[in-house]
Amino acid sequence: MVDFAGWNMPVQFSGLVDEHTAVRQRAGLFDVSHMGEIRLRGDAALANVQRLTTNNAATLEIGQAQYTAMTRQSGGIVDDLLVHRVADDDYFLVVNAGTKDKDYDWICAHLEGDAVADDESSAWAQLAIQGPLSETILARVIDVDLASIRYYRFVLTEYGGAPAMIARTGYTGEDGFEVYLAPQHAEDLADRLMDAGTADGIVPAGLGARDTLRLEAGMLLYGSDMDDARTPIEAGIGRVVKTDKGEFIGRQALLKQRASGSDDRVVGIEISGRGIPRHGYGVLTADGQPIGTVTSGTFGPTLRKGIGFACISADHAIVGTEVAVEIRGRAIPATVVETPFYRRQG
């Protein structure tokens, strides 16, 4: 157990590789109640979401979610988050645990018109069941037509007589669901899911497997791969920047960067031989010149090789470029590769 943004969080239960493999092949259950939930309501809710975030929330249907970012005027990332459209005047934002207070203050400071933001984090627990058997197991416990929930969609329901929400998003690269429910009912649901999935090999999973799974799936981690000093374009998530939707905080800086290009870019790297890239390790050209730093890395249990993200100079950020990572005083050959590193079948 470790402290994580003020929460007592499990690193592992049965073991990182065992938990990682269970999610890839069967199912794993994560308690991710540390995530923050912020509700934005009012007639001007959409207008505020549009001004606060880089993606185009106007395209969302009721019951649909969207990955996006909040940026400063400089273009630096305040946080990456999920926006759920509950109603025309009701948006449910899921933010990172370590930035929850900062995010809430940022949102409140920039609200305009008829809109109110509420920090509902203490009102919600969140359990994530991930893996190819997640739908089968969850269906044994919750009476909802899960098959009708498409990727990045959600439904409102109840659990234990209290409001609940089931979303099909995830942070592992596998199919899966997030169940948002009242905290007093979370332990009951966790127990029932574990009992319902015992025969199928479900396991409880911790932060260690969550990190290796998200890395293989090519998903960034705020505070490591991106932060206030790095723009979505530099972080490699420029796809969520919709400058044609109209004005939003940071738009002018991002338009300028798109036109002129960025000096650095976060890219996927794959170790060619033995070695594991770790946060803070130096990245070199093939002939030994410094060009950047590893932002996060691991040994991918599914891929059986060292993988990671690195922020390197843009002129070396082309897929296929041979680089090296400084690991314990040695320059270990690596290659800039496309992400995600792993893609599930089907």
pLDDT in tens, 73-105: 999 999 999 999 999 999 999 999 999 999 999
Whether 346 has a pLDDT exceeding 80, the answer reads no
Confidence at 345, pLDDT banded by 50, 70, 90:
confident
Residue 180 near residue 165, CB atoms below 8 Å: yes
Look at 180-184, 248-252, 315-319, 342-346 and tell me which has the smallest mean pLDDT: 342-346
Strand order in the sheet with 36-41: 65-71, 77-87, 90-95, 36-41, 116-119
State percent of the chain over pLDDT 70.
Answer: 100
Q: What is the mean pLDDT of the chain?
A: 97
- Are 134 and 79 in contact, with CB atoms under 8 Å apart? no
List, for residues 260-300, the tens digit of each pLDDT value.
999 999 999 999 989 999 999 999 999 999 999 999 999 99
Instruction: Identify the structural domains of the chain with CATH numbers, from first to last.
Output: 2-214 (3.30.1360.120), 263-340 (2.40.30.110)
Instruction: Count how many Cα atoms sit within 13 Å of the Cα of residue 71 in the half-sphere of its side chain.
Output: 33
CB-facing half-sphere around the CA of 61: CA atoms within 13 A: 7
